[in-house]
Amino acid sequence: MTFSVSPSLVTLGPGVRITSVATGGRHTLALSGYMKYEVGCMNFGERSVHDSPSRKRQDSSAKASKFPGSYVKVIARGGRHSAVVTDAGALFTFGWGLYGQCGQVSTNDQLRPACVPTLSGIKVESVAAGLWHTICITADGHVYAFGGNQFGQLGTGADLAELQTQSTQLDAPCLESKCAKMVSCGARHSAILTEDGQVYSWGWNKYGQLGLGDSIERNIPSRVPIEGCQPKNVACGWWHTLLLAEIPL
């Protein structure tokens, strides 16, 4: 095994233009203008395409035909699993499945992208993946979660020892009439930003990563008190959370 201690160019073939990148615990995803490319550790099936870059480009239309929609528009990576959303709103997952984080109604590993069956017919807009869990937002602003829940990171209010192998909609009273628009997952915590500019967080909180002024875990969403600014984006790190906000002039 070799390590790169300085930035190195990743060669994906002539004409490949990368639009976004997502890094996981042991793997990386890169989204191009016409299809998804994956590189990284294959121990748990995070990388599911084995063709060369040029072969991928030639076969992009054939591969896309297997997915609802024409192209992948969102990519997310977890500790050892990945999730992608197509332009048709279909959510696909692959990788390590021990905690149900692939949402395939089992704890089996997924070595190829598979549509999340319990979200079939529901248009997904965005997705985020944590160490052992996955959170997604639908076109109507509803939040769904699946995977490990050891620290309440699913936000469903379920018992902390109970994992969810299928998607469950969050129905916390504080989210009633709220429309979520952004989601992010840390190792064991989660956060969303709603259309009215409010931030909600839940899960592991040993280091205050929920931003609630204490270190108490939450198994349902709690509103993060923010005064004097307008939240624009939220990003969860492994053990911390960052918020991008605009200060009114």
> What are the distances in angstroms from CA 3 to CA 8, 46, 64, 179, 233?
11, 19, 33, 43, 32
Residue 75 placed within a domain: yes
Q: What is the pLDDT of residue 66?
A: 59
CA distance 23 to 78: 8
* HSE toward the beta carbon, residue 129, CA cutoff 13 A: 34
Strand order of the sheet with strand 143-147? 124-129, 133-138, 143-147, 164-169
Say if residue 4's pLDDT is above 50.
Answer: yes
Residue 208 placed within a domain: no
Domain count, the chain: 1
Q: What is the pLDDT of residue 41?
A: 41
Tell me the pTM.
Answer: 0.85
Q: What is the pLDDT of residue 74?
A: 96
Average pLDDT over the chain reads 87
Question: What is the tens place of the pLDDT at every residue in 162-215?
Answer: 899 999 999 999 999 999 999 999 999 999 999 999 999 999 999 999 999 999
**Which of 149, 141, 132, 118 has the alpha carbon at shortest distance from 200?**
141
Residue 229 placed within a domain: no
CA distance 200 to 100: 23
Enclosing domain of residue 179: 18-186
Residue 155 placed within a domain: yes
Element spanning 39, H or E: strand 36-40
| CATH number for position 63 | 2.130.10.30
Question: What is the tens place of the pLDDT at every residue in 129-164?
Answer: 999 999 999 999 999 999 999 999 999 999 887 899
Q: What is the pLDDT of residue 61?
A: 39
CA distance 167 to 223: 23
Element spanning 85, H or E: strand 81-86
